Amino acid sequence: MAVATHCPYCALQCGMHLRVDDTVTVQPRDFPTNRGGLCQKGWTATDLLDSPERLRTPLARQGGRLVPVSWDSALERVVDGIRDAQRHGRDRVAVFGGGGLTNEKAYLLGKFARVALRTPNIDYNGRFCMSSTGACRSRCPTSPTPRRSCSSAATPPRRCPPSCNGSRRNANAAAG
């Protein structure tokens, strides 16, 4: 059985199929952002499903050690921490989302920040993560509009976002 879905790791949301047999394996899917390509993170997206290091229960620090606790206990601890911080002002807490969130989840996160927590502080990882990907792409020497040497010049193409690999393919085709 193959299930059409998207890579959950970054905002490109590359299209993929998950083939479910005894194990779950990834197959790329033709989609406007990846056109059948995936980067290394997408290809290995299912590796963590059966990793022995995968977290399956919340951990809380007790006496300097992280120990498994119930979800109720972990969430109570989060609520207590937020309440404690907000005794000094609503804006003492911030919410940090991610480019991998769906539009609906990003909307709910914004509502949670503004309506439930009543903090104006909300941001997402694009400021630190995807902005560097964008800078990488704009500086890529094989991009159709190269500017200067790119720190990713020595990066194996399989680690670059598929859109960059597309640039490389296009540039190679133009040069060839």
**C-beta of 110: minimal distance to ligand SF4 in Å?**
22
The nearer residue to ligand SF4, 10 or 117, going by C-beta atoms, is 10
Distance CA 148, CA 76 (A): 51
- For residue 113, how many other CB atoms are within 10 A of its CB? 20
Work out how close the CB of 45 gets to ligand SF4 at its nearest, in angstroms, rounded to a whole number. Answer: 7
Maximum distance among all alpha carbons in the chain?
Answer: 65
Q: Which is nearer to ligand SF4, 113 or 162 (CB)?
A: 162
CB nearest ligand SF4: which residue? 42
CB 45 within 8 A of CB 23: no
- Burial (CB < 10 A; 0-12, 13-18, 19+), residue 67, is exposed
Q: Which is nearer to ligand SF4, 9 or 112 (CB)?
A: 9
- CB 14, min distance to ligand SF4, A: 3
d(CA 170, CA 5): 27
What are the residues binding ligand SF4 (CB under 6 A)?
A: 7, 9-10, 12-14, 34, 38-39, 41-42, 161-162
Q: Looking at beta carbons only, is 93 or 101 nearer to ligand SF4?
A: 101
Q: What is the closest distance, in whole angstroms, from the C-beta atom of residue 123 to ligand SF4 in the complex?
A: 20
Alpha-carbon distance of 7 to 15, in angstroms, equals: 6
